[in-house]
Each structure stands twice: as structure tokens, then as C-alpha cells.
């Protein structure tokens, strides 16, 4: 079984509570025996997969399999195409690791996403923009570190797609079991 969950802001990608002020996956009524495949930090939102199929972990997460994951990142400032080139080339140093190349593009206008609670801070003197980034790896806080490394800190981050499977229609805090067509989208 594979479940797709739209993880809200402020929820840890684990079932056990380490501190009383953190929300966890335990409050969302998942079937017994499932566990998250990968992670999203508590500040990030969006598509999180859970499964009882241990064989999926390597297929979906090992960078050698080049399984794409797409993120929308609201950044401080408005990067140019030239600003995004280091992301596309790869090699950005993050904690002793150099990133693989990724696809990066400036999205036109605002992303069509539900409001976040609490909202992202607003500063009238500093514009924001949305980037779409597609990576085949997922180090701890990687997208945030990559955008900061090129001078555009991430204010809000959502994972919107894994493989060809997207969050379309799945509201924050809800989940569903994937059918055979959706599993094919996830792992073509």
C-alpha cells in the first residue's frame, strides 16, 4: 500500500513525539504498519509518501535511480535566469556534499497554493518570487540551502510532485491510498 499525504506546515515526518509542542503523523489516522518514505522538515509542506512496502525506499530515494521530486519554493527577492544557473549546473556545496544538477525555473506570478498557517512574513520593501525546482536527490534541508547559497532564501517550501504523481486536489492534512494508475505515475 502507498499513501499520498499533503503534509501541513509544522508537522514532523514521524509518528513519535519528541517534544510536546510538535505535531506528528500520529494525529492523521494512518493505517497501522505504514511509515514515511523520505522526509519533509516541519517547516516544509506538501507531498509525503507513506507505505508498508519497504522495497520502495531505495527505488524512490536513491539518487542513482534519478527519481524526480518537484518543489515550489517561495524565495525572498526575484532571481534572474542567470541566478538559477548554479542550481542547474549542480555542485553547490552543502555540508560537505556537492549537489547534483537540477531543473530550476522562475514561475510566472503567484503559485496556486492554499494559505499557510501561520502565514509567511510579509515585507513591503522586499519582493518575493516562486521557483519550481526538480531534484533527483534529497539531502536534509537541501532546497532551502541551495536557494540561500545563490542569495535567495526560501520563505515557503512545498513538494508538489514525485515522479509524475502530483498533489492535485489533495488538501493539506488529508491523505489517500494510491490506485494502480497513480502508482504508475509515481514509478513509471
CA 24 distance to own-chain centroid? 17
Rounded Cα distance between 155 and 152, Å, is 9
DSSP tag of 126: S
Structural contact between residues 42 and 22, judged by C-beta atoms closer than 8 angstroms: yes
Strand residue runs (E) in 43-116: 45-51, 69-76, 93-94, 97-98, 103-106
Omega before 70 within 30 of 0, i.e. cis: no
Which grid cell is 3? 499513501
**What is the C-alpha to C-alpha distance for residues 161 and 16, in angstroms, rounded to an integer?**
26
Tell me if 7 sits within 8 A of 28, measured CB to CB: no
Question: Which residue numbers are catalytic?
Answer: 41
Beta carbons of 73 and 87 less than 8 angstroms apart = no
Amino acid at each position: 500500500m502507498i499513501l499520498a499525504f499533503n503534509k501541513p506546515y509544522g508537522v514532523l515526518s514521524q509518528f513519535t513525539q519528541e517534544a510536546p509542542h510538535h505535531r506528528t503523523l500520529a494525529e492523521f489516522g494512518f493505517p497501522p504498519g505504514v511509515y514515511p518514505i523520505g522526509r519533509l522538515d516541519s517547516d516544509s509542506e506538501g507531498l509525503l509518501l507513506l507505505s508498508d512496502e519497504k522495497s520502495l525506499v531505495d527505488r524512490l530515494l536513491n539518487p542513482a535511480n534519478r527519481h524526480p521530486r518537484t518543489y515550489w519554493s517561495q524565495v525572498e527577492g526575484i532571481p534572474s535566469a542567470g541566478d538559477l544557473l548554479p542550481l542547474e549546473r549542480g555542485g553547490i556545496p552543502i555540508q560537505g556534499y556537492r549537489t547534483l544538477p537540477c531543473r530550476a525555473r522562475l514561475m510566472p506570478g503567484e503559485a496556486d497554493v492554499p494559505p499557510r498557517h501561520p502565514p509567511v512574513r510579509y515585507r513591503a520593501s522586499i519582493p518575493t518570487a516562486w521557483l519550481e525546482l526538480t531534484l533527483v536527490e534529497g539531502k536534509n534541508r537541501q532546497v532551502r540551502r541551495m536557494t540561500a547559497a545563490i542569495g535567495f532564501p526560501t520563505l515557503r517550501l512545498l513538494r508538489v510532485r514525485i515522479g509524475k504523481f502530483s498533489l492535485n486536489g489533495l488538501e493539506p492534512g488529508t491523505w489517500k491510498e494510491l490506485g494502480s494508475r497513480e502508482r504508475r505515475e509515481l514509478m513509471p
